[in-house]
Amino acid sequence: MTLSEFYSKLGGNCAEVLKRIPSEQMLKKFVKMYQKDPSFSQLEEAVAQKDWQTAFRAAHTLKGVAQNLGLADLQRTASELTEALRGAKPLTQPELLDAVRISQKQIVDAMKELDA
Amino acid sequence: MANAGCGTDCEEQHVKIRPKILIADDSMMNRELLSEILGDEYVYLYAENGVQALEVLEQNLDVDLLLLDINMPVMDGFGVLDVMKRRHWIEELPVIIISAEDDAGFIQKGYDLGATDYINRPFNFMVVQRRVSNTLMLYGRQKRLMQLIEEQVFEREKTNSTMVNILSHVIESRNNETGIHLLHVRTLTDLLLRQLIKMTDAYQLDESDISMITTLSALHDIGKIGVPVEILNKPGKLTPEEWEIMKSHSLIGDSLLQSAPVAQDDPLMRTAHEICRWHHERWDGRGYPDGIKGDEIPISAQVVAMADVYDALTSERCYKRSFSHEQAVRMINNGECGAFNPRLIACLNAVAPELETAMHQENAASFDYQQESKRLTTEVLEKGEVQQDDRAQRLLSIEKTEVSFFSEQCGGIQFEYDHWLNRVIYTDWSAEPAKRRKTLYLSESDDTGILSKEDWARLRGLIWNSTRNKPDVEMEVLISTEKGARWHRVRARSIWTTERLGYAGVVGQITDIHEEVLARGLQTIENQKSVEQVYEGMEELRKLFSLVRLVDPVSCKVLTLSEDGVLTETDECCFAIWNRGECCDNCSSSRALAAENWTSKLELQGTTLYFVLSHYLTVGSRPCILEIASQLDECFDTNGEPAVPGQAGTFLLNFYRDALTRAYSRMYLDNFLPNLEHADGVAIVDVDKFKQINDTYGHPVGDEALKNIAAVILSCIRDNDTLIRYGGDEFLLIFSQIGEEVFFRRLTQIRDAVRASRLPSHPELQLDISIGGVYRVFPLAEAIRQADVRMYESKNTKAKMREEHE
């Protein structure tokens, strides 16, 4: 899968991102770096422990990372979750977290098919 | 932890050329993205939260730019900006905010706090690069230089010299002089040197020499650590032998410095040697230790000598009264007190009019560092010397070594408290090297480390009342050590900012004075020669302590001593007073007999705690033990304020009571575990929604609630039951002997009583507690654990019910 196909699969636009980050090589490097990013697991962990302050921060970070990488689906779902958790509010709409999980899974799956 | 990005040491050349950027962002991705985007034109440092960012800045004064994320754990970006602003860092160090917040208010707030620019997410390659390079351009080279000088030389020097001062002060305190003496000498040294360079350029002194000599003046008497206290504090005239010992302090100081593990040929070290060795030399060659004369005596030592003499004359000492400023100047002019360089006498006369006021205003902080650094910057720029940061670094590292050297000599525990970070760093010189340093963030936990929370509060109170002119505070505390509770003296000095913002922090030293306290309180008896005098001494002590008696440790009988010196053995057993049928396990008297010295222990009588001192002595020819016990609670009146200040009061510090709730403290539990081990009923009490009360009504109301709840519980329990404040809002209840049914009924009564109670200030506030109790579970630790589990179960059930209800 090319980088462009990767992005369209995840609701993003590769060409748009390349306006901000001019080298495709570098963008690919950043995208691959995402696999090491702990924000998603931190989010899951914090929600499980009902630590809403940390959950908010993790969702917020995840949103920022998605925004930087142009991962549009994740950016949208993470953003909605961030707003729901803002002020360390307990999560009352579990479907918001499920949406983030789906975005995350799609990214992880697509990453496997991405050209080296 | 924060780590330096690229190799910093191996590529020193590059480090100087490439600007240093600190990236503070909790997301690893973002940190890597930013450094990737900005490329290898820069050197990177990283921090994952606000406190770390401040620490990196503290340790790397050459950071050129801070990229700051707002949402971070521990301390957020606004918190960082706030501290930077208060420390005046923001004026020298540009900050670019990284923000995913589209909210304009966020960015506005950042600007208000002094941020230079902001970068929005998603990162745009070009924008990030441009903003960073533009910002760095704006903060030009001269500005950087200024910053380097100001922060490296002066800010650091200020802290370090304060440390050198306080350490010298610890040594000097043996001399019964006030710590202010060092500050006086410092101020006068500075004034004289400045006058000297105005009048002559014979001595080739530049600004950094002056600042160095001024700082090092604090060390002039360090050799006095080697002179016995009896000689230092002798009020009368010294015998010729004693005088020789006294004079040896200049040589002792010199050799102390020689044993310091630092480069001896450094200018700084050389100056320190000069001052320590030769500050008692005289211009006419009749001084000591070497009898050198005229300008053979280094100018540093000449100036400090004059400053020392002037301050000695104008202060009261154990052997003399004080002279007025005019008298002192006249005496120095007339050669009545030493012989000085005529040039220096001229300097003294020139500064004399401003001297008196300067001495009364001065302290370490009034020295204008900002002004100084500007002066030094100009000097450096004019000379075209730019390698000054080498020198600053050297100055710094040597001072650090010096500080640690003197600290080691003094021993004890040192602490530094940073008011803005709310951080304490303890250095315990008695611990093994790896465990010496301990850093605590007070906002994160209630643990204040070595000092108990109450003592910490007391110390903060003293510090709060300290002023620029009287920055030193002192108090005596009981500290729990491996050897049991021991008396310590805390000496601290508040550090003040250049602005009138209040204090910036505290440096201090904690020394074990247990032996001293014991000796002091009991000297009365110690010096008695005859049996009658023992009687008189005991009568004296009875005024101070609730129990003073003589005991035969072999027969375990109490002895009486009559006024005319007749010693009689009574039928009373010494252990009867502690409600025991046999000799105490921890019998301090037999230990005292074995050691022929003082020993101490804590004893419980009913619910009252006693501090017992035992001292071996012979009355007539009979060996016996003098026992002195003081009730630890009696020093508090009904308001919980210490009622017996000084004297016995220092013994009677309320060590085991929680100052707020009057319940016992956790320390009590730790020290009396064996006495409580077989209690029937154990319960954990936790205040419901305590955090919410604090958050909604504020901490004073939270405190009031705790106080109220503790009072209600105390009113529901018997005298021989024990209430301990176990954690912030957690209490531990221990019922020594109680039936099972009564125990559980009592717990219900307590809960109902708390629910029914009202806070006078907020009657609308519904107080509630959760209790978990266990009956006859042993050992106590297990009982507490199980009670805790039950308490949580009850709390969860309640929460669930509330949820369903809603």
The reply to whether residue B27 touches residue A64, judged by beta carbons under 8 angstroms, is yes
Q: What pLDDT does residue B642 have?
A: 36
Whether B732 contacts B682, CB under 8 Å = yes
Nearest to B270 by CA among B386, B420, B394, B385: B394
Mean pLDDT of B280-289: 93
The reply to whether residue A60 touches residue B32, judged by beta carbons under 8 angstroms, is no
- The nearest CA of chain A is from the CA of B133 a distance in Å of 17
The CA distance from B521 to B472, in Å, is 25
The reply to whether residue B125 touches residue A57, judged by beta carbons under 8 angstroms, is no
Q: What pLDDT does residue B550 have?
A: 86
Contact list, B799 vs chain A (CB under 8 Å) = none
Preferred mutation among B31, B33, B69, B98 to probe A, highest tally of A CBs within 10 A: B33
- The nearest CA of chain A is from the CA of B686 a distance in Å of 20
Mean pLDDT of B191-208: 86
Contact list, A46 vs chain B (CB under 8 Å) = none
Whether B110 contacts B70, CB under 8 Å = yes
| pLDDT greater than 90 at residue B565 | no
Nearest to B36 by CA among A21, A15, A114: A21
Contact list, A63 vs chain B (CB under 8 Å) = 100
Question: Would you state the structure tokens that stand for residue B726, as one six-digit string?
Answer: 């176990």
The reply to whether residue B122 touches residue A33, judged by beta carbons under 8 angstroms, is no
Radius of gyration (Cα) for chain B, nearest Å?
Answer: 32
The DSSP annotation for B153-200 comes to: IIIHHHHHHHHHHHHHHHHHGGGT--THHHHHHHHHHHHHHHHHHHH-
Q: What confidence category does residue B386 fall into, taking pLDDT thresholds of 50, 70 and 90? A: very low
Give helix B325-333 / helix B299-314 axis angle, nearest 10°: 140
Q: Percentage of chain B surpassing pLDDT 90?
A: 16
User: Which residues does B80 contact at the CB level (< 8 Å), separation at least 6?
Assistant: B24, B50, B53, B54, B66, B68
Q: What confidence category does residue B658 fall into, taking pLDDT thresholds of 50, 70 and 90? A: low
CA dihedral of residues B655, B657, B658, B662 (deg, nearest 10): -160
Give helix B299-314 / helix B180-199 axis angle, nearest 10°: 130
The CA distance from B61 to B329, in Å, is 43
Q: What pLDDT does residue B689 have?
A: 87
For chain B, say whether A37 makes contact (Cβ under 8 Å): yes
| pLDDT greater than 50 at residue B653 | no
Answer with the residue of higher pLDDT: B477 or A78: A78
The reply to whether residue B29 touches residue A34, judged by beta carbons under 8 angstroms, is yes
| pLDDT greater than 90 at residue B364 | no
- The nearest CA of chain B is from the CA of A22 a distance in Å of 7
Q: What confidence category does residue B655 fall into, taking pLDDT thresholds of 50, 70 and 90? A: very low
Average pLDDT, chain B: 74
| pLDDT greater than 60 at residue B722 | yes
| pLDDT greater than 80 at residue A81 | yes
- The nearest CA of chain A is from the CA of B49 a distance in Å of 12
Residues of B in CB contact (< 8 Å) with A are: 26-30, 32-33, 36-37, 71-73, 100, 121-126
- Encode pLDDT of B393-431 as tens digits: 445 555 555 666 666 666 678 787 776 667 777 777 777
| pLDDT greater than 80 at residue B327 | yes
Answer with the residue of higher pLDDT: B345 or B514: B345
Nearest to A111 by CA among A30, A21, A18: A30
Answer with the residue of higher pLDDT: A105 or B678: A105
- The nearest CA of chain A is from the CA of B301 a distance in Å of 59
- Enumerate the β-bridge partners of residue B320: B317
Contact list, B26 vs chain A (CB under 8 Å) = 57, 61
Q: What angle do CA A22, A25, A28 make, to 5 degrees?
A: 100
What is the CB-side half-sphere exposure of residue B248 using CA atoms within 13 A? 15
Contact list, B36 vs chain A (CB under 8 Å) = 26, 29-30
For chain B, say whether A34 makes contact (Cβ under 8 Å): yes
Whether A74 contacts A99, CB under 8 Å = no
The reply to whether residue B27 touches residue A61, judged by beta carbons under 8 angstroms, is yes
For chain B, say whether A26 makes contact (Cβ under 8 Å): yes
Tell me the three state secondary structure of residue B279: coil
The reply to whether residue A64 touches residue B100, judged by beta carbons under 8 angstroms, is yes
User: Which residues does B726 contact at the CB level (< 8 Å), separation at least 6?
Assistant: B666, B669, B684, B732
Strands B681-687 and B503-512: unpaired
- The nearest CA of chain B is from the CA of A77 a distance in Å of 15
Q: What confidence category does residue B301 fall into, taking pLDDT thresholds of 50, 70 and 90? A: very high
- Enumerate the β-bridge partners of residue B23: B46, B67
For B562, counting Cβ atoms within 10 Å of its Cβ (0-12 exposed, 13-18 middle, 19+ buried), the class is: exposed
Distances (CA, A) of B735 to A65, B249, B739, B775, B780: 57, 61, 10, 10, 12
The reply to whether residue B122 touches residue A70, judged by beta carbons under 8 angstroms, is yes
| pLDDT greater than 80 at residue B747 | yes
Q: How many CB pairs under 8 A join A and B?
A: 58
- Encode pLDDT of B209-222 as tens digits: 888 888 788 778 87
- The nearest CA of chain A is from the CA of B68 a distance in Å of 14
CA dihedral of residues B563, B568, B572, B577 (deg, nearest 10): 40
Q: Which of B26, B37, B125 sits opposite A61 (nearest CB)?
A: B26
- B287 φ, ψ to 5°? -90, -170
- The nearest CA of chain B is from the CA of A9 a distance in Å of 20
ipTM: 0.86
Contact list, B126 vs chain A (CB under 8 Å) = 22
Q: Please give the residue of chain B at the shortest CA–CA distance from A31.
A: B29
Cα B53 off chain centre by: 24
Q: Which of A20, A29, A54 sits opposite B125 (nearest CB)?
A: A20
The reply to whether residue A64 touches residue B125, judged by beta carbons under 8 angstroms, is no
Contact list, B123 vs chain A (CB under 8 Å) = 20-21, 68
The reply to whether residue B27 touches residue A37, judged by beta carbons under 8 angstroms, is yes
| pLDDT greater than 80 at residue B52 | yes
Q: Which residue has the tokens 């009902």?
A: A50
Q: What pLDDT does residue B399 have?
A: 55
- B476 φ, ψ to 5°? -115, 135
Q: What confidence category does residue B277 fall into, taking pLDDT thresholds of 50, 70 and 90? A: very high
| pLDDT greater than 60 at residue B261 | no
Mean pLDDT of B724-749: 89
Mean pLDDT of B321-330: 87
The reply to whether residue B36 touches residue A29, judged by beta carbons under 8 angstroms, is yes
Answer with the residue of higher pLDDT: B551 or B169: B551
The reply to whether residue A38 touches residue B123, judged by beta carbons under 8 angstroms, is no
Contact list, B124 vs chain A (CB under 8 Å) = 19-20
Answer with the residue of higher pLDDT: B674 or B469: B469
For B293, counting Cβ atoms within 10 Å of its Cβ (0-12 exposed, 13-18 middle, 19+ buried), the class is: middle
| pLDDT greater than 80 at residue B234 | no
The DSSP annotation for B343-391 comes to: HHHHHHHHHHHHHHHHHHH--GGGS-HHHHHHHHHHHHHHHT--THHHH
The reply to whether residue B33 touches residue A64, judged by beta carbons under 8 angstroms, is no
- Give chain A's count of helices (H) and strands (E): 7, 0
- B477 φ, ψ to 5°? -140, 155
Q: Please give the residue of chain B at the shortest CA–CA distance from A23.
A: B125
- Encode pLDDT of B481-539 as tens digits: 665 566 788 888 877 655 444 556 777 888 877 666 555 555 655 555 667 777 777 77
| pLDDT greater than 90 at residue B750 | yes
| pLDDT greater than 80 at residue B100 | no
Question: Would you state the structure tokens that stand for residue B57, as one six-digit string?
Answer: 């800045």
Q: What confidence category does residue B339 fall into, taking pLDDT thresholds of 50, 70 and 90? A: very high
CA dihedral of residues B516, B521, B525, B526 (deg, nearest 10): 10
**Which A residues 54-73 touch B at CB under 8 Å?**
54, 57, 60-61, 63-65, 67-70
Could you tell me the maximum CA-CA distance found in chain A, to the nearest angstrom?
A: 42
Q: Please give the residue of chain A at the shortest CA–CA distance from B30.
A: A65
Q: Please give the residue of chain B at the shortest CA–CA distance from A86.
A: B71
